[in-house]
Amino acid sequence: MRFLTSSRRHKAARPILVALALVLIGGLYAAVSPATNSSADDTTTTAQIAQGRQLFAVSCASCHGLNGEGLAAEGAPSLVGVGAAAVDFQVRSGRMPMANPLVQAPRKENTFTDEERAALAAFVASLGGGPSIPTEDQYTPEGLSEEAIAKGGDLFRTNCSACHNFQGSGGALPNGKVAPPLIGLEAIDIYEAMRTGPGQMPIFNGAAIPDTDVQAMVGYLDELHAQPSAGLTLGGLGPVSEGLWAWIAGMGSLVLFAMWITSKAARK
Amino acid sequence: MARPAQVSPEVPAAQALSAPAAAPAAGVGGWFDDRAPVSGFAKKALRKAFPDHWSFLLGEVALYSFIILLLTGVFLTVWFKPSMAEVEYAGTYQLLHGVPMSEAFASTLAISFDIRGGLLVRQIHHWAAMLFVASMTVHMLRVFFTGAFRKPREVNWLIGVGLLSMGLVEGFAGYSLPDDLLSGTGLRFVDGLVRSIPIIGTWAEFFIFNGEFPGDLVIPRLYMVHILLVPGLLLGLISAHMALLVYHKHTHFPGPGRKDTNVVGGPLFPVYVAKAGGFFFIVFGVTILMGALMQINPVWLFGPYNPAQVTAGSQPDWYMGFVEGAIRIIPNWETHLLGTTWSWNIFLPGVGLMGLLFTGLGLYPFIEQWITGDTAEHHVLDRPRNVPTRTALGVAGMTCYAMFWLSGGNDILATQFGVSLNDVTQVMRVAVFVAPVIAFIVTKRLCLSLQRKDRERVLHGSESGILVRTPDGGYTEAHVPLEQEEAFILTQHHQPAALEPSVGTDARGVRRRGKRVGGLRVRLSQWYADGAIAKPTAADIADAGHHGEAADAVETTPPAGELSGAASSGKGEGH
């Protein structure tokens, strides 16, 4: 302690202390901070990433660039930081790779194997972070209570129905884009779409809507689509299709009946 | 089987009444006749003539839908709770368990899931409501295009316009009652309309909703409007409408023996009673089938109303679709003046368009009368082609309405046909103005062409399909003279000339009495009468014989035969 008390007024004391503090803080930061870039590398093999890079160069790079940097002129966004979940969603639903530069990527058949899709996802994840592919316990609605599912319905009406319609029949968005129908989807599709925000869709991250809420919403949609309807649903589009049918089926048949009745003359 | 047995005693009873004999008449009719002169009235009423045409049954569809609405509505009233008090749902439909909602919505769910037959009755009620307004609309179009609104029926036309507007109010109030997400959004829409009224908008909103939207009173108030106020008005107006119909007697389509001074048709009893009574059951049956087979307004899918929520596909029922469409396509016009906001973007399409539609409909008979100067009574209907300007105006109006209607579903059009929502909106902004003009021109041309066709048929008869080769090698098609009835129908109509401008003074320079016909009226009258194809005169028809059949017949004097006979009798009847 004599050394410290005697040398604290030494000329070099201040610079040395500053240097020590910087080393300490830097060391702490390195130890505590989230390891963004390295997590994917740690869990996936280098070989998978290499395979993904090759697939990417063949199927994706013409628009997104060899390193996923994106091409603004083609309307292709940068894929740095979109995460493995985004790739998993886009490729599984056949939206990517796009066949034509349309306003919005349509669903189509996915021609990649699961292994290739995983490799692509691993490669894109290696470009920089983002949400990873969820595990089943994150999205499955198994074992939810009735009340939880009803709450999922409320959350669905608050967050989703404005674009996707009250029963997930889909709806229109500006400039030729659409909110696609949510009928016949897997739970993982909905989970990944919410977390990655494809196209026009906003990102609903875990801080805003925790996994349990996503599960409840998925559970609500599954139950809703399993319910029997009260007759032909007429497209599930609301009053527009009801009006159309009232005129065509209702007025149409009544006019035909009126013609039939008046064509039968009792006496001339 | 019971019906004829009950009614037939009334006819002899009528004779008993005419003789003031002491002996009371026998039978049910007699019992009534001792207390009120029923049978005389019944005899007259039952023999009332009703012309037969399918389009005359459209108004009946409206009447029958209204009866179905009353019947099903009574059932729903038994179970519905018009209250906005908040409850937690604990009924059968598990997907809403524990969700807070109004008692109105909870009771609608109860009707749908817990009351026996409730869902079916709800769906019948809703489909019948759609058909009620639809059939009123088609009935109105029939009356418009055949000119049945002309003197002496202008007042009945006005009552009809009142019925249609009341029908919209009634339908909208009913649509709002379940307090589901869709109807709440619709109510919010109306809230906006009310608020857009300049100066008094906010005050009117607070008056209607008893404070800020949504408040807790609007459902009970709409319930009163829906089950008491408007149905009462509708009943009264329907009674007046039908009383005038009986008083004026029904119009009839042109035909031999049908005049502006008579009415030709089957007797009310038994023919028309059977037809109309049977038709009621057909309408009821169709409505029940629709209610049983086609889902309508599935409120459980929409969920309870929550001002924080909205759903894609939020549209009103079809009859409010034109207002919705106008609001969807109007540019965002707004003026700020001395601290007040004038929301033209809502006021013009909402309040303005509805006002324009109903004012225009109400005034049309009087405007047409002013333009044509036609103050005669009409009981023979117009064939639409013979009044081309009116027909074209009607089709233009329908087209304009249809464009607004389509705009109301612009999002559905965009998704179903894979086009851009913005493109649909832009196209519709132009189409609401351009499409009616095109429709007017096309319709008028079509009417005039049909008039030409009629003239051609009268002059040359109908094509027989038999080609005749003359000895010198020419070919002609033999024409068959028209039936007398058809020739009459094709030539019976009036072709009034356009009004002439009245001269202010007569030949001696004295001011003329009476109303002057001004320049605007003359111009409108000329526009209205423009282009009519002159119907053939007797001379034309006699002349037509010269070249009608074969070229070699020209030299001989053609016997006018049946053809000119028919047409001249037609002319005689027509004038």
Give pLDDT tens digits for B444-477: 999 999 999 999 999 988 888 999 999 999 998 8
> Which chain B residues are Cβ-neighbours of A154 within 8 angstroms?
99, 303, 306
In a domain, B68, yes or no: yes
Three-state SS at B465: strand
Where does the pLDDT of residue B193 fall: very low under 50, low under 70, confident under 90, or very high at 90 and above? very high
Residues A182 and A221 sit within 8 Å (Cβ to Cβ): yes
Where does the pLDDT of residue B570 fall: very low under 50, low under 70, confident under 90, or very high at 90 and above? very low
Can you give the pLDDT at residue A105?
Answer: 87
Task: Give the CATH number of domain A36-133.
Answer: 1.10.760.10
Where does the pLDDT of residue B548 fall: very low under 50, low under 70, confident under 90, or very high at 90 and above? very low
Can you give the pLDDT at residue B217?
Answer: 94
In a domain, B399, yes or no: no
Where does the pLDDT of residue B41 fall: very low under 50, low under 70, confident under 90, or very high at 90 and above? confident
By percentage, how much of chain A surpasses pLDDT 70? 93
Whether A4 and chain B come into contact, CB under 8 Å, resolves to: no
Where does the pLDDT of residue B333 fall: very low under 50, low under 70, confident under 90, or very high at 90 and above? very high
Three-state SS at B419: coil
Can you give the pLDDT at residue B347?
Answer: 93
- Judge if B166 and B227 occupy the same domain: yes
- Judge if B145 and B173 occupy the same domain: yes
- Judge if B202 and B85 occupy the same domain: yes
Where does the pLDDT of residue B81 fall: very low under 50, low under 70, confident under 90, or very high at 90 and above? very high
Mean pLDDT estimate for chain B: 87
Where does the pLDDT of residue B34 fall: very low under 50, low under 70, confident under 90, or very high at 90 and above? confident
Q: How far is B418 from chain A (nearest CA, A)?
A: 7
In a domain, B429, yes or no: no
Q: How far is B106 from chain A (nearest CA, A)?
A: 15
> What average pLDDT does this structure show over B137-163?
96
- Judge if B40 and B115 occupy the same domain: no
- Judge if B288 and B363 occupy the same domain: yes
Can you give the pLDDT at residue B479?
Answer: 87
Looking at B332, B349, B382, the residue that finishes a domain is B382
Where does the pLDDT of residue B164 fall: very low under 50, low under 70, confident under 90, or very high at 90 and above? very high
Check CB contact under 8 Å for B318 and A237: no
Can you give the pLDDT at residue A266?
Answer: 54
- Could you check whether the bond before residue B349 is cis, i.e. omega within 30 degrees of 0? no
Host H or E run for residue B50? strand B49-50
Higher pLDDT, B14 or B66: B66
Residue with tokens 């740690």: A42
Among the partner-chain residues B95, B279, B317, the one whose CB lies closest to the CB of A153 is B95
Task: Give the CATH number of domain A134-228.
Answer: 1.10.760.10
Residue B381 has pLDDT above 90, yes or no: yes
Can you give the pLDDT at residue B366?
Answer: 96
Give pLDDT tens digits for A69-122: 888 777 888 998 898 999 999 999 999 888 887 888 888 899 899 999 999 999
Whether B309 and chain A come into contact, CB under 8 Å, resolves to: yes
- Judge if B64 and B40 occupy the same domain: no
- Judge if B302 and B341 occupy the same domain: yes
In a domain, B454, yes or no: no
What span, in angstroms and rounded, lies between the C-alpha atoms of B332 and B344? 8
> What average pLDDT does this structure show over B119-138?
97
Residues A63 and A71 sit within 8 Å (Cβ to Cβ): yes
Residue B304 has pLDDT above 50, yes or no: yes
Check CB contact under 8 Å for B306 and A250: no
Can you give the pLDDT at residue B538?
Answer: 83
> What average pLDDT does this structure show over B548-563?
42
What span, in angstroms and rounded, lies between the C-alpha atoms of B62 and B472? 63
Higher pLDDT, B377 or B19: B377
What span, in angstroms and rounded, lies between the C-alpha atoms of A40 and A128? 9
Range of the domain at B483: 460-504+514-574
What chain A residue is nearest to B122 in terms of C-alpha separation?
Answer: A230
CA angle (B37 as vertex; B34, B39 as ends), nearest 5: 100
Number of domains in chain B: 3
Where does the pLDDT of residue B345 fall: very low under 50, low under 70, confident under 90, or very high at 90 and above? very high
Higher pLDDT, A33 or B286: B286
By percentage, how much of chain A surpasses pLDDT 90? 50
Can you give the pLDDT at residue B453?
Answer: 93
Give pLDDT tens digits for B232-250: 999 999 999 999 999 999 9
Residue B432 has pLDDT above 70, yes or no: yes
- Judge if B375 and B337 occupy the same domain: yes
Can you give the pLDDT at residue B317?
Answer: 94
- Judge if B532 and B566 occupy the same domain: yes
Three-state SS at B276: helix
Residue B95 has pLDDT above 90, yes or no: yes
Can you give the pLDDT at residue B24?
Answer: 62
> Which chain B residues are Cβ-neighbours of A231 within 8 angstroms?
123, 291-296
Higher pLDDT, B3 or B366: B366
Residue A68 has pLDDT above 90, yes or no: no
What are the distances in angstroms from CA B307 to CA B64, B84, B321, B327? 37, 14, 22, 20
> Which chain A residues are Cβ-neighbours of B138 within 8 angstroms?
251, 255
Residue B287 has pLDDT above 90, yes or no: yes
DSSP B278-336: HHHHHHHHHHHHHHHHB----HHHH-B--TT---TT----GGGHHHHHHHHHS----EE
In a domain, B475, yes or no: yes
In a domain, B570, yes or no: yes
Looking at B361, B382, B403, the residue that finishes a domain is B382
Check CB contact under 8 Å for A147 and B414: no
Where does the pLDDT of residue A43 fall: very low under 50, low under 70, confident under 90, or very high at 90 and above? low
Give pLDDT tens digits for A167-209: 899 999 998 899 999 998 999 999 999 999 998 899 998 899 9
**Residue B280 phi, psi (nearest 5):** -60, -45
Q: How far is A63 from chain B (nearest CA, A)?
A: 24
Where does the pLDDT of residue B572 fall: very low under 50, low under 70, confident under 90, or very high at 90 and above? very low
Q: How far is A67 from chain B (nearest CA, A)?
A: 33
Can you give the pLDDT at residue B574?
Answer: 33
B26: left (phi over 0), alpha (psi -120 to 50) or beta: beta
Can you give the pLDDT at residue B514?
Answer: 65
Can you give the pLDDT at residue B547?
Answer: 55
Residues in chain B: 575
Contacts of residue A13, Cβ cutoff 8 Å, sequence gap at least 6 = A7
- Judge if B210 and B246 occupy the same domain: yes
Residue B375 has pLDDT above 60, yes or no: yes
Burial class (CB in 10 A: 0-12, 13-18, 19+), A265: exposed
Q: What is the largest CA-CA distance in chain B?
A: 96
In a domain, B428, yes or no: no
- Judge if B32 and B79 occupy the same domain: no
Enter the tokens of residue B313.
């596909």
Among the partner-chain residues A167, A250, A258, the one whose CB lies closest to the CB of B134 is A250
ipTM over 0.90: no
> What average pLDDT does this structure show over B202-212?
93
Can you give the pLDDT at residue B560?
Answer: 43
Can you give the pLDDT at residue A37?
Answer: 52
Residue intervals of chain A classified under CATH 1.10.760.10 are 36-133, 134-228
Q: How far is B423 from chain A (nearest CA, A)?
A: 8
Q: Is the dihedral of CA A38, A42, A46, A52 positive or negative?
A: negative
- Judge if B484 and B520 occupy the same domain: yes
In a domain, B283, yes or no: yes
